[in-house]
Amino acid sequence: MKKISDSLLETINNNTFIQFGFYHHLFNLTQLANFIRPLVQIKTKKDLKSSSALVMALSRLQKEKAKKILKMEHYKIKNLTIYSRLITLTYSRTQEVVNKIDQIYNEIQKNNGYIALTQGTNELTIIINDESEAIVKKQIKDQPINVARNLGAVCIKFEKKYYDTPGLLYYLLQQVFLQGVSIREITSTFTEVIIYVDQKNVKLIFDTFYNQF
């Protein structure tokens, strides 16, 4: 049977949202205790009639762990790259559209253009430089479900050792949200995360990441 203090620490550290707010003193501890009490009860197998014991434990833990704040400097980012003048075209993911992707990709690459793809079960989004729009529309005759223009992107490349590190992606996205910026698209690979935002916000997001490490 786990101690309450151990269960609290585990609950906080397993949730990056709670971890960030707790270590930055953003939460009312009574409200936080009420929120996580059901989770702690499951871990400890104890019926906690009130949250008072949790509030006291949270207060002690917050003082003890005040310096344990997740910062970008804990990670080593290899490179930041900006891409400008991008658009996205979203289509229904039909076999006809999928069959055209190789031709589109090869033609854009031949012109040294930018292209990235994201796809789900029912939709497929093509991300390209705005000057490549004609190439896509020449190959795909269907009307796109959505077209988003005036976009840019920031590509964050990090060390491969951080692939299994909990919280890295959350931290990157958190920095964007804290600036009040909407994310239009996001793509990722083994050691890269590319965040697409409105062109007017690209420099702000680049500077935000750059100043974190």
Per-residue pLDDT of 6-37, as tens digits, reads 888 888 878 877 887 887 788 999 999 999 88
Give which of 167, 173, 208 is closest to 194, Cα–Cα. 173
Q: Are residues 8 and 84 in the same domain?
A: no
Asked if the structure places residue 70 within a domain, the reply is: no
Q: Which letter does DSSP use for residue 202 in this model?
A: H
**What stretch of H or E contains 131?**
none
Q: Are residues 60 and 80 in the same domain?
A: no
Mark residue 107 as left, alpha or beta (left: phi above 0; alpha: psi -120 to 50; beta: remaining). alpha
Among residues 27, 44, 64, the one where a domain terminates is 64
- Grouping H, G, I as helix, E, B as strand and the rest as coil, residue 119 is strand
Assigned token pair, 54: 């949790």
- Which distant-in-sequence residues (6+ apart) come within 8 Å of 192 by Cβ? 155, 156, 157, 158
Q: Are residues 25 and 89 in the same domain?
A: no
Q: Are residues 28 and 89 in the same domain?
A: no
Instruction: Give the pLDDT confidence score for residue 94 in this predicted structure.
Output: 95
Asked if the structure places residue 159 within a domain, the reply is: yes
User: H helices then E strands: how many in the chain?
Assistant: 8, 6
Task: Name the residue range of residue 136's domain.
Answer: 75-210
What is the domain count for the chain? 2
**Residue 9 to residue 45: CA distance in whole angstroms:** 16
State pLDDT tens for residues 75-99: 778 899 999 999 999 999 999 999 9
Q: Are residues 99 and 136 in the same domain?
A: yes
Per the confidence metrics, is the pTM higher than 0.75? Answer: no
Q: Are residues 37 and 82 in the same domain?
A: no
